[in-house]
Structure 1
Amino acid sequence: MRYEGGLLMSEALLRVGDLKVHFPLAGGWFGGAAGVLKAVDGVSLDLAPGRTLGLVGESGCGKSTLARALTGMVPVTSGQIEFEGQPVRHDRSASWQALRRDVQMIFQDPLASLDPRMTVGQIVAEPLRHLRPDLNRAERARRVAAMIERVGLSQAQINRYPHEFSGGQCQRIGIARALVVEPKVLICDEPVSALDVSIQAKIVELLQQLQAEFGIAILFIAHDLAVVRQISDEVMVMYLGRVMERASSDVLFDTPAHPYTRALLSAVPRPDPTIERTRRRIALPGELPSPADPPSGCVFRTRCPWAQADCAAQTPALRAFGESTRVACLHAETVVDERVAVAG
């Protein structure tokens, strides 16, 4: 590992450069587009083996759209995607087909993501039938049984249906389905948000164990910042389709450089009652602007306590800030200088 330009660099499996996912809005003249919704607007990231990148931001910021773009579920408007150094074309060609096996996804709603008409064994075996046609039936059955046990279920449950399982067990089935083809990248789209707190901890622990065992890279999307801090090596913060800040987990949580990051962290309850009573929360005014009509310049400026005139004229690029932080803010130095006074 090394730092370059303030960003932790490594031999990445998956690299994304200036990725954009725009959707035309219906309602224009003669059936044309009435505008463009910029769900993801110039996101860059990299994922390295055995590392976890946490992705946070409020609803509507583009997290799930980004995840689906990386797995080919939604079309990419522009930008670059590379997997193991090879470019992935945007036309769903053979390069996308090759990516299907190596990049797998775990979804937010564990029960809804499983076919109710299929048994657990059939659900876990389905990716093997499509992505590993070289395996015979006996080898598929062996791999399915081994993976079901590896995620904490028993072979006695292999012929049961999803409705017979709890939410946590259904998510374990989803994890088994994703990992049975031995992917190199796992994208987790809020995999614990629908689960009880005690079950969340067990699923996060399972993901950490599987990552250590298989060396997979993980993109972990979540709203729960405590969970993100527990599992992530680095954290990336999105707002209105753009990256506001990226840093190592400890640095981002201890010394946030972007006003939006600070506002998110100020809402997290502290276990110390004295600190909880005395610290000042940052209440953001207004609502999240529409991605179909984002503010000029810095997209966060309409809700930012530190916004100045130049924030409306300039779109801040993600720049190096400190040893391991990159931040898209023209006045990050001022924000950090006032950190104690505001967050105290």
Structure 2
Amino acid sequence: MKPGEFFALLVGAYVGTAWLGKVLYSSTLGRLEIAPATYAVLFLVILYLSYRIDAGIPAWAFGLGAMLLLIPLGIQYVLGGLVALGILRHLMSRDKLIRGTVPATVVSIGLVVAASLHWGIPLLKPSLRYTSASVPFLVAGDIMIGVIAARPSLGFLLVGEVIAIVGASRTVGLGVAVAYLLRLAYDGKLTVEETRRRKYVILTVVLLTLAVFAARYHVTIKEYPGWRLGFFGTLIYRPASSYTVYERLFHMGMPLGNHELLFTPDPTGYVGRLFGKKVGYTYTLFGQPVYDFGVLGLIEAIILGTALRTASKNGFTGTFAFTVAILMMDIGIEGTFLAAILYLACLAQCTEGGIWSASKRQSP
């Protein structure tokens, strides 16, 4: 299985689960609506077609696009993006990236230990998830996704999933698992034959991911004592809930949008406030384009597909970019996420033909 096929499989599974949840829990979430569903399908079709075409966009164009996305968010985002771009550009050789994985893992573990000693453990104190105390756990998880994108080791996978469990973060848990499997796909190790040979490895990835989701379910039960759905019911309800938020954003954004969500530093909080809530709402991959730009939001599918195609020319950047895109399926497109994918496409374009070129392993 190629990385693009793996991405398509997960996207299809997510949308199918969301639609199933809308049917099963229609009394709570409302019926599945035709117009938003049509928009979502069109977005995915355009994304796929854009991904299949090598547009030959230069590296500087991706870099400029990323910077323009970050400017409205604040100077700290611009500087952070440039620093990250510079560091990765410097390390974009196989030897340097691999040598950096162990120190990066140590930093990741150190962040979690320091945060746990200072604030506590989110798994045991769920209220921490809504404060700045959650940030070190998320940053540590992001670091481990990068580590695994460079070097897919079961040891690194285990560290990443433990961080996800301690932080009670589905996002980190899923991101780490997806990065590991994507990296295997780039290395040609996710074919049918290889999957059979590595069936216990794949099973380990699945079980670790389920353990993270079980930890998050435990937190949900503690936060909401009246929660009546079981573990698997909750797994179906979550994407259906995010999809329902998207449906509401669809009606608020059509026909030409509101031009705000992509340019706010706290997009999930912004969406929550739209509905009078003090907590963040996730809104799926389609929510931001339709709310911000209405029907013209479909153009974002072209940008995203083109950037993913370009990032896929390199195993490290492709793994990272696809992982971010998969996480956006539920969370929604944020300015920082889209900028990260554009920066990764920039890096891939800069290093095309080098030792990390994906063309020497799996084509997109």
TM-score tier, shorter chain, comes to under 0.3
Name the structure, 1 or 2, with higher relative contact order (CA <8 Å, separation 6+).
2
Given the two structures, how large is their TM-score scaled by the length of structure 1?
Answer: 0.26
The structure with more radius of gyration: 1
More helix by share: 2
